Amino acid sequence: MSIDAVAFLQRMVEIESLSGQETAVAEFVVAQMQAFGYDEAFVDTAGNAVGIRTCPDEKGDIQQEIVLLGHMDTVTGKIPVRLAGGKLHGRGTVDAKGPLATFVVAGAQATLQPGTRIVVIGATEEEAATSRGARFARAQYQPDFCIIGEPSGWDGITLGYKGRVLLDYKLVQEMGHTAGPVTSVGETAVSFWNGLNDYCQRFNATRGKLFDQILPSIRHIETGSDGVWDTAVLKLGFRLPPDYDLQELITLAEQTRGTADLHIYAHEPAYHTSRANSLYRAFSQAIRHSGGRPVPKLKTGTSDMNVVGPVWQCPIVAYGPGDSQLDHTPHEHLELVEYERAIVVLEKVINGLRPHNEQ
C-alpha cells in the first residue's frame, strides 16, 4: 500500500502521550502497523507498540534480527499541532515521534534480506527516569543490530550518550526568625548545591569537550514553612562522562548533606560505540548515496541506548530526523523534507543489512 508518511506522523503528534499515558498513541501506532502490512503488530506488557516483519531464508530460518527502538512518550507542554511552511509543529515532532514514524514507515517499505526479522518498538516512559518500555524490551530480544530512535538530523549518526544520575535533597528544621542566628533552610540548601557544583567545575577544568565533563543542573528548588518547620527541597541532575566513578559524587553529597535526607537514583552509565561499528558504516554509505555528508555525533543527554546497549552488546547507533536543540522547547517542529530524507536513508540501511555483515 502507499503510505502517507506525513499524515501518519501528524496524527501521532496530535495524540497526547505524556510518560505513563501512552495507551492511545500505542493503539494508533499498532493499528497503522497492521494497515502498513506488518506481519505482527501488538501492544506488549509494558505498553510498547511493537511491529514485526519477517523474511525467512530458503530454509525458513531467521539469521538476523534488527531492532528499531524509538519512544512514544513526550514531556509536558502543549504546542498547537499545525503544518506550515514545510514544517510540522507540535510536541514530540522531534523528540521523538518523528524518528519513530521514520522507523515505522521505513520498516514497512524496506525490502528485507532473506533470513531477516525487523522489530519496530515504540517504547513507553523514555522521558521518565524509569525507561519502562526499553527495560522490558531489553529482556525480550537479543538483536544483531539496534537503531535507537532519537533526533540526529537526517545526515547525522549518534554514536553515544552521556550517563545520568538524579539526587533529591530535603532539609527540614525548626522555624527561626530571619533576624536570628540560625541559617535558613534555603541558604543551607544553596550552600549544598554550590559545593557539588564547585566540585563539578574543578573536575571539568582540564576537560575541553562537553561529552567528557560532568554537567550539573538544578531541576527543581523549593522552600516552604508550616509555621513550625521550615523545609527546603532540591532535585539535582548530573550528566556523567564515560570514565566517571559515581562513588566520588555520592561520597561528597553524603559528607556535605548535614541533616538533610538524600535520595540518589536513576543512574544510567554513559554508553558509546565507535565509527568502526558496522551500522555506522551502513548509515554513512546510505547518507552519501542520498546526497549528504555523514556527521558522527556524541550527545550530552541520555537515551534508551544507555539502557539496552550494555546488555545487547550489538552494533548500535541512534538515528532520526530533527534538530535535537528543539527537544523539550516551545519551538519544537520538524522539517518535512528532512523527515522524508530520513525515511529514504533508513530504508537503504535496512535493505543493505545482511546476516553476515561484519560487526
178 by Cβ neighbours in 10 Å (0-12 / 13-18 / 19+) ranks as exposed
73 given a catalytic annotation: yes
- Tell me if 9 sits within 8 A of 83, measured CB to CB: no
347 given a catalytic annotation: no
Catalytic residue among 22, 65, 95, 126: 126
96 upstream amide cis, omega within 30 of 0: yes
Catalytic residue among 65, 73, 127, 150: 73
DSSP 211: G
DSSP 80: -
Measured between alpha carbons, how far is 234 from 170 in angstroms, rounded to an integer? 7
Beta bridge partners of 318: 148, 158
Rounded to the nearest 10 degrees, the angle between the axes of helix 98-109 and helix 23-35 is 20
Q: Where are the alpha helices (DSSP H) in the chain?
A: 5-14, 23-35, 98-109, 132-140, 185-204, 246-256, 278-289, 305-312, 336-352
Q: Which residues are catalytic?
A: 73, 126
